Structure 1
């Protein structure tokens, strides 16, 4: 019985997470604002743990080094999908 309750709770959190996902997140930078289509990424990846290793919310330690390294750019290179050049993410001033 407890396993069914836990499974139902997990399923509910997954569905609620997708429904309540932030549409877009904006990062102002020195070379132009980055508008991150969060909900689009969440729907494409189908899960949160790929980016949010510790659960929902702000990604601990997220900065330009992470974004340009194993984070955004690294994922785009690995999946061969999405921008990998500066102007692909940074909209010039």
Structure 2
């Protein structure tokens, strides 16, 4: 088992500016030791002939062709607007701006 000490955990907590209680330090000392051991086991199994992977299944982006379709006319778009000036939507001022 890899030995992670209380002092190392306290040092890391100090670097991260995390206040830990003595009970938390004890718990994290054991947990971090187990994590280091688990990584060591995986490193033993992974040989030079095993490629590094971030996902078990290759990821591919699926894109569709960008096809222009029917769009609304200016009149259709403005038809449902609460307020408009004939060519643009009218909205209330925001963030204290004057109208």
- TM-score for the superposition, normalised by structure 1: 0.29
1 or 2 for the larger relative contact order (CA 8 Å, sep ≥6)?
Answer: 1
- TM-score for the superposition, normalised by structure 2: 0.27
Bigger radius of gyration among the two: 2
Q: Which structure features the higher share of strand residues?
A: 1
